[in-house]
Amino acid sequence: MFDDRSPIYRQIADRIKADVASGALGPDEQVMSTNQYASFYGINPATAQKAFQTLVDEGVLYKRRGLGMYVSPGAREALIAEKRTRYFDAVLGPALDEAMAIGISADELRSFFNARTKRQDQ
């Protein structure tokens, strides 16, 4: 379930963010409590609390006093926009830099893109 690459609280937060981004968790939908989460995954409740607080701080979740944690309206759109920006910066930017460095023209890139999307549309 959890790996050793990053802190468990970060992995929990990332998993919940992925569920929100995919639509598996919708706006104003309640998420498991920190105690339920800790019990279900066999982790320290403080670890789950840190993950949930991180998500509140990031605007992904909000608290309803006495009721629990809920997905913030607009969180999905914000997460998708963030992922798109990271994708352009981390993947497409360097790919385009490399293409320009080896002399691939904008027309060649457009032709490749059009052929690729045409194949996927079929």
Does residue 3 sit within a domain? no
Instruction: Provide the whole-model pTM.
Output: 0.79
CATH number, residue 43: 1.10.10.10
Does residue 26 sit within a domain? yes
Residues 34 and 57 in one domain: yes
Range of the domain at 100: 82-121
Q: How does pLDDT run across 60-110, given as a tens digit for each residue?
A: 999 999 999 999 999 999 999 999 999 999 999 999 999 999 999 999 999
Does residue 2 sit within a domain? no
Does residue 91 sit within a domain? yes
How far is it, in rounded angstroms, from Cα 33 to Cα 51? 11
How far is it, in rounded angstroms, from Cα 109 to Cα 95? 11
Report how many domains make up the chain. Answer: 2
DSSP string, 9-72: HHHHHHHHHHHHHHTSS-TT-B---HHHHHHHHT--HHHHHHHHHHHHHTTSEEEETTTEEEEP
**Phi and psi at residue 44, to the nearest 5°:** -65, 135
Does residue 48 sit within a domain? yes
